Amino acid sequence: MSYGGAAPLHQSSQSDIDEIENLINDSVRFGPATILPARPPSSPRASIPVSSSPFVPSALHPLPSSNKKPLPHFAVPSFSAGPSPQGIATDGLGPPTNTLTEPIWDTVKRDLTRIATNLRLVVFPNPNREDPGKALRDWDLWGPFFFIVFLGLVLSWSASVKKSEVFAVAFAVLAAGAIILTLNVLLLGGHIIFFQSLSLLGYCLFPLDIGALICLLGSNVIIKMMVVLVTFSWSSWAAYPFMSTAVSSRRKALALYPVFLMYISIGCLIIAVD
Amino acid sequence: MDRLQPPVENYANPKTCFFHVLFKAAALAFYILSAIFIDSFVIIFVVTVLLAALDFWVVKNVSGRILVGLRWWNEINEQGESVWKFECLDQESLARMNKKDSWLFWWTLYLTAVAWIFLGIFSLLRFQADYLLVIGVCLSLSIANIVGFTKCRKDAKKQIQQFASQTIASHFSSTIQSAFSVV
C-alpha cells in the first residue's frame, strides 16, 4: 500500500470516511483479497446479499451508493461455480424471504439450466468447442454425478447376475478413472484445472449413457456393437479438443490414449453385460 | 446456570436448522438401517449418496448463508485460472448471528464427518470394499464442506482484524492532523 497507513495531508475537507474507504479500496486491490465481506441489506435479518461493493465498514456511517464498484459476481454458489446473471433474487434487493422453498426452487432451476448448458457446450457441436477456456467455464459436478450414477444403474439393470458388483465396478472405474486421467494430464505438464477436467470427462459420458440405454432395450450383439461404436466415437470426439489443447503437441497422444481406453472399456462393459 | 438470567435465545432459523440436520441424519440412518432391511447394494448406494449430495448442496447454499453468514465457491477467471472465493457478512451482522444456530451448524458438520469415519473403519474391518465406496463419497462431501467453511471463517477473522487495525491507524492519524490544523 502506498500510503502505509497514513492518510495524505489534505485539508479537512476530505472526511474520515473517504480516507478509510481509500485505504480499504487499496488493500482490496493490492491485497490477496480472498475474502469479500458483503454489505448487509437494510433489513435487520442477516442474509448475504448480492451486493457488488467492496468491503464496507459497518462501524461507520453507511456509504452512499455511488461507491458501488462492479465486482464480478456474487452468485449463489451451488455445487457448481461461476457467475449467474440473475443472482439471488431474494437477498439484498428486497425483503428477505421467510420460507425456504422460494430460494431453493430458484437455485435448483439455475443449477438445472447450468447442467443443460454445459451438456450442450461439451457434447454437441458448437463454435466454442475449440477453445478449452470457454468450454466449461462454469464447471459443475452435478451433471457428471448424475451421468455416472445413471450409467451404473443401467448397467446394473442389464446384468442378470452380480448386479451390485457391476454397479460398484462401473462407478469406481469411472470416478477413479476421471481423477487419474486428470492427474495424468497435470503430470504431463498440461494446463488444466482439476475440477474442470473432471467435469468434462463426466459430461462426455452422456453419449455412452444413451448407448447403454439403447443396449438395455435391444438384445442383438451386432446391434449393440454398432451402437456402442457410434456412441464411443461421439464421446471421444467430445473429449478430444479439450484434452488435446491442454498439453503440448508432442504429448497429445499420451494424454488422449488413456481417455479413449477408459471409454472403450466402458463400451466393452456395455456390450458384455447381459 | 443462574435461573435469574434472561432466557436463552432460541434458534433464529428453526426451519433451516431442521433441514441442515435432516439430510445428514437421513443419510446416516439410511446407511445404518439399510443393512437390516434392504438386500440390494445398488439401492443403498444410490439413496445414501443422493442424500449426502443433497445435504452438501443444502449446507453449502442455504444453511451456510443463513446460519453462519459464510459462503464459498470456485470461479474460473478470464485468464483461465481457478480462484476460490470465500465470503462472509460484515462484522456487525456476524455479531448478530444467533449463537445457537452457529453452534448447531458447526457441531453437526463435524459430527457427521466423524460418524462417517467411524462407519468407514467398521466396514474396513469387515472387508466390505463396496460399502467403503459409499462411505468414501459421503466422507469427501462432508470434508469438502468442512474445509470450505473453516477457511471462510478463518479468512473472515483475519480480514476483520486487519480492517480493525487499519481503522484505528487512520483514525489516529486523522485525529492528529485535525488537532494540528486547529492549533
Q: Is residue B131 part of a domain?
A: yes
Q: Is residue B134 part of a domain?
A: yes
Q: Is residue B166 part of a domain?
A: yes
Q: What are phi and psi of B120, to 5 degrees?
A: -65, -40
Taking the complete model, does pTM exceed 0.90, yes or no? Answer: no
Neighbours of A46 (CB within 10 A): 25
Please indicate if any CB of chain B lies within 8 Å of the CB of A165.
yes
Q: Is residue A255 part of a domain?
A: yes
Distance from the Cα of residue B107 to its chain's centroid? 9
The pLDDT of residue A138: 78
Q: Is residue B180 part of a domain?
A: no
CA–CA dist A237, A234 (Å, integer) = 5
Q: Is residue B133 part of a domain?
A: yes
The pLDDT of residue A174: 92
Q: Is residue A236 part of a domain?
A: yes
pLDDT digits (tens, 9 = 90+) for A94-128: 333 333 445 667 778 888 888 888 888 887 877 66
Distance from CA of A167 to the nearest CA of B (A): 7
Please indicate if any CB of chain A lies within 8 Å of the CB of B67.
no
How many pairs of residues across A and B have Cβ atoms under 8 Å apart? Answer: 168
Q: Is residue A240 part of a domain?
A: yes
Q: Total domain count for chain A?
A: 1
Q: Is residue A39 part of a domain?
A: no
Domain range for A198 is 140-273
Distance from CA of A123 to the nearest CA of B (A): 21
Q: Is residue A109 part of a domain?
A: no
pLDDT digits (tens, 9 = 90+) for B42-100: 889 999 999 999 999 889 888 888 888 888 888 877 777 778 888 777 666 676 777 78
CA–CA dist B92, B97 (Å, integer) = 9
Please indicate if any CB of chain B lies within 8 Å of the CB of A230.
no
Q: Where are the alpha helices (DSSP H) in chain B?
A: 14-37, 41-58, 91-96, 99-125, 129-182
Q: Where are the alpha helices (DSSP H) in A31-100?
A: none
Q: Render each residue's pLDDT in chain A as its tens digit; 274 residues.
A: 444 444 444 444 445 555 555 555 555 554 444 444 444 434 444 444 443 333 333 334 433 434 333 333 333 334 433 333 333 333 333 333 333 445 667 778 888 888 888 888 887 877 666 665 566 777 888 899 999 999 999 999 888 888 888 898 899 999 999 999 999 988 888 888 888 889 989 999 999 999 999 988 877 888 899 999 999 999 988 888 888 777 888 888 888 899 999 999 999 988 888 7
Tell me which residue of B11, B12, B31 sits closest to B134, measured CA to CA. B31
Q: Is residue A31 part of a domain?
A: no
The pLDDT of residue B7: 55
Q: Is residue B63 part of a domain?
A: yes
Q: Is residue B1 part of a domain?
A: no
Q: Where are the alpha helices (DSSP H) in chain A?
A: 16-30, 101-123, 132-135, 142-158, 163-187, 194-203, 206-217, 221-246, 252-272
The answer to whether A199 and A137 are in contact (CB under 8 A) is no
Report which residue type is found at A137: R
**What angle separates helix A206-217 from helix A101-123, to the nearest 10 degrees?**
90
The pLDDT of residue A129: 60
Is there a contact between A104 and B62 if contact means CB atoms under 8 Å apart?
yes
Q: Total domain count for chain B?
A: 1
Query: Cell numbers 473429449 correspond to what residue?
Result: A239
A:77-116 residues touching chain B, CB 8 A cutoff: 77-79, 81-83, 99-100, 103-104, 107
Q: Is residue A83 part of a domain?
A: no
Q: Which residues of A touch B65 (CB under 8 A)?
A: 47-48
The percent of residues in chain B predicted with pLDDT above 90, rounded, is 26
Is there a contact between A24 and B177 if contact means CB atoms under 8 Å apart?
no
- Mean of per-residue pLDDT scores for chain B: 84
Please indicate if any CB of chain B lies within 8 Å of the CB of A206.
no
The pLDDT of residue B119: 92
Is there a contact between B166 and A55 if contact means CB atoms under 8 Å apart?
no
Domain range for B32 is 14-174
What value of ipTM does the predicted structure carry?
0.77
Q: Is residue A256 part of a domain?
A: yes
- Is the pLDDT score of B170 beyond 50? yes
Q: Is residue B152 part of a domain?
A: yes
CA–CA dist B130, A167 (Å, integer) = 10
The answer to whether A87 and A50 are in contact (CB under 8 A) is yes
Instruction: Give the best residue of A34, A71, A155, A186 to mutate against chain B (max B CB count within 10 A).
Output: A34
